[in-house]
Chain A
Amino acid sequence: MNRQTLAAATPAAAPTCINYLSRLVGVLCAVAMGLSALGVLTALGLIAWSVVTRYVFGNPPAWADDVVAMLLVAVVMLAAGPALRRGEHIGVDVLTSQLGARGRCWSDAWAALAAAITGAILLVNGWDTAASSRMMGIVTDGEVEIPLFWLQLFLPLGGGMLILVACEALARLATGAPSLAVSHSAIEEASK
């Protein structure tokens, strides 16, 4: 089982329009990934602070747990696209890894298409859900009462990022441009 790669069968120089698209997607992914990592550090800080205030001041902030849970949705949806771009989502490649270059190209295109359709589902369904939450004026449960649709909007955002990255991958495959997706295995990740 390897992470998804979208390597082209016959790498060639990328056309200019693909380079522009790649640059745009690259910047968006870098920003999204940075915000996601910031979310992890914020969650860590909030929980640590909550523990300290509970034992030192005897008065933990009741809202911290709710905010941390909300942050998780943002962390995941922001990083979903960048992770796809780096070929980090796990797939079963027992069969596809046996294919030749042309077969791999088709299987990569199939994987990118699947990610794009999933992104489209998240985008359309997530947008509709957020819109209906907004219309009904639903707020979050618990100590922090904020309009739910603000948080639900992270799903269409994540879906949109998946579509962008998948489109870039498909465009690269279609034009024979070299893939930007790096085959980062869990092993390489852990060894950093």
Chain B
Amino acid sequence: MNIAFLLLALVLLLFTGMPIFAGLTLFGSALLYLTSGSLGAISDVIYHDLNSYMLVAIPLFAFMAHVMIRGRIVDDLYNAAYTLTRHLPGGLAIATVAACTVFAAISGSSVATALTIGAVAIPQMIRFGYSPRVAYGVVAAGGTLGILIPPSGPMVLYGVITDTSIGGLFMAGIVPGLMMAVIFAAWAMLSTLFGKGRIEREPRATWREALRALRKSAWALSLPVFVLGGMYAGVFTATEAAAAGSVLALVVACLIYRNVGLRGIWESALDASRTSTMLFMILAGASVFGHVLTKLRIPQEIVEIVVGAHIGVTGFLIAMMALIFILGMFLESIAIILITTPVILPVMLHLGINPIWYGVLLVINLELAQITPPVGMNLFTIKAVTRAPMGQIIVGSLPYVLLLILGMAIVMLWPQIALWLPGLAMHLR
């Protein structure tokens, strides 16, 4: 059976507007019925894919993020970042990227990062004379760091599907994530220096001001240190780290900031349940789709095609990244992971590609998907926050699309950027 035809048919079915989970389940079930005459025990396949201790990390990280968002810690975080960078050209834009970087390490979600930071940063940047386009672009791009800098929901999913260490993936995302943050900040600084318009710069903060700002944001900064530090020190597994982070988030939001009560906790649990259900239902559909692909020996067929084409590791990676980039323009990130990964996993293993390295490349590509039209979740987020014309938001984000492609190329050329830290700390090479 022709894999290209199957994938095309699936994408066309999804374009009819049905929920992705339904499209995957129906397509997989129909294929299964046509090829074997019955559906077999597909619900058993779904049950076993969902019955996973590691996946529980996703609702718990979502709960942690919802509690912290309700705790309104972001104001202190943004103030601290601005206090430290306000004397630099493009200081406010750099502060926005910095705040996105730290918030990414709390939320694990691109949309939550763009929304939370955007609501604070965009009005400020425009007030200080930044062009709206620049402000939209910085927040849209900074928000994408949410899924690259750990904790990251897509990384947990990818780790479970490929049986790769989630701790290793998280660690592998740190250096590329910080690298992207530095690239974004450098671009923001350069575009401010050489761009049109005059942006006022404030004097450098005194040590006292800086310390005061850092002290106020200490709780927000402590959360990623606690979660990631606990994982890498071997104190927690990824799921336990999510639970421990949630407990700390509750302590910070309920007892220190006093912005969250019992109602807030309950609403956060409802939100976490909804967010993860939306994701896990796609996983359920993808498990049916993956099951039928395996039965039809499609992955083996692809291995044979790739091996026969003699394109090598680099050629394969470039082809995959191009395909995912195109899919990312139309499909949601989770669906891309769940549709493509089971199909190409055997090829990756056959070619000896490190799954952690590929996971980081995949996530950078999914960051691109957040800011490439017509379907870019962060573009929609900025639109919702600002009600600005979509064209202006897209134009503002375009330089960052190119910067993300550059970042992806750097990690592809120098895998050690992703693999050095996990290799050092966890001996995962």
Contacts and interface: CB of A to CB of B under 8 A. Distances in A.
Interface of A: 1-4, 33-34, 36-41, 43-44, 47-48, 50-51, 65-66, 68-73, 75-76, 79-80, 82-84, 86, 88-96, 107-108, 110-111, 114-115, 117-118, 121-122, 125-126, 128-129, 132, 151-152, 155-156, 185-192
Contacts of A111: 17-19, 22
A191 B274 CA distance: 14
A120 B121 CA distance: 47
A191 B69 CA distance: 8
A186 B384 CA distance: 10
A190 B243 contact: no
Contact of A43 (B60, B69, B266): B60
Nearest to A123: B43
A91 B47 contact: no
Given A90-B335, A114-B23, A151-B47, A107 B16 contact: yes
Contacts of B15: 92, 94-95
Nearest to A42: B269
A37 B43 contact: no
Given A43-B60, A91-B19, A92-B15, A117 B26 contact: yes
Instruction: Give the secondary structure class of A's interface.
Output: helix
Interface in B275-326: 275-278, 280-282, 284-285
B272 interface: yes
A119 B89 CA distance: 56
A150 to B, nearest CB: 12
26 contacts: A1-B332, A1-B375, A37-B273, A40-B63, A43-B56, A44-B247, A47-B56, A47-B243, A76-B284, A83-B277, A84-B19, A89-B278, A90-B19, A90-B334, A92-B20, A94-B375, A95-B15, A95-B16, A108-B17, A115-B18, A115-B22, A118-B22, A128-B43, A187-B381, A190-B115, A192-B267
A72 B282 contact: no
A94 B379 CA distance: 14
Contacts of A3: 278
B264 to A, nearest CB: 10
A65 to B, nearest CB: 5
Contacts of A2: 380
A5 B63 CA distance: 25
B412 interface: no
B347 interface: no
B42 A75 contact: no
Contacts of A34: 270
B43 A190 contact: no
A169 B274 CA distance: 19
B270 A41 contact: no
B187 to A, nearest CB: 25
B362 interface: no
Interface in B26-56: 26, 29, 39, 41-44, 46-47, 50-53, 55-56
B115 A187 contact: yes
Nearest to A91: B19
Contact of A91 (B18, B66, B246, B272): B18
Contacts of A95: 15-17
B234 to A, nearest CB: 12
B60 A44 contact: yes
Contacts of B385: 187
Contacts of A48: 243-244, 246-247
A50 B111 CA distance: 32
Contact of B111 (A51, A72, A186): A186
Interface of B: 14-23, 25-26, 29, 39, 41-44, 46-47, 50-53, 55-56, 59-60, 63, 66, 69-70, 109, 111-112, 115-116, 119, 236, 239-240, 242-244, 246-247, 265-267, 269-278, 280-282, 284-285, 330-332, 334-335, 374-375, 377, 380-381, 384-385
A86 B19 CA distance: 13
Nearest to B13: A114
A96 B17 CA distance: 6
Contact of A155 (B26, B47, B335): B47
A4 B23 CA distance: 13
Contacts of A76: 50, 276-277, 280-281, 284
A118 to B, nearest CB: 4
Contacts of B63: 40, 44
A155 B375 contact: no
Given A90-B335, A92-B330, A80 B269 contact: no
Contact of B51 (A39, A40, A114, A151): A151
Contacts of A70: 51
A93 B173 CA distance: 31
A88 B282 CA distance: 12
A44 B18 contact: no
Contact of B43 (A69, A79, A152): A152
A92 B46 CA distance: 23
A110 B66 CA distance: 33
A191 B270 CA distance: 14
Contacts of B14: 91-92
Q: Considering the complex of A and B, which 3 residue pairs feature the smallest CB-CB distances, nearest first?
A: A96-B17, A47-B243, A114-B18
B29 A121 contact: yes
Q: Which of B42, B43, B282 has the most CB of A within 10 A?
A: B43
Contacts of B115: 187, 190-191
Contacts of A110: 16-18
Contacts of B277: 36, 75-76, 79-80, 83, 88
A78 B269 CA distance: 14
Nearest to A67: B53
A108 B18 CA distance: 8
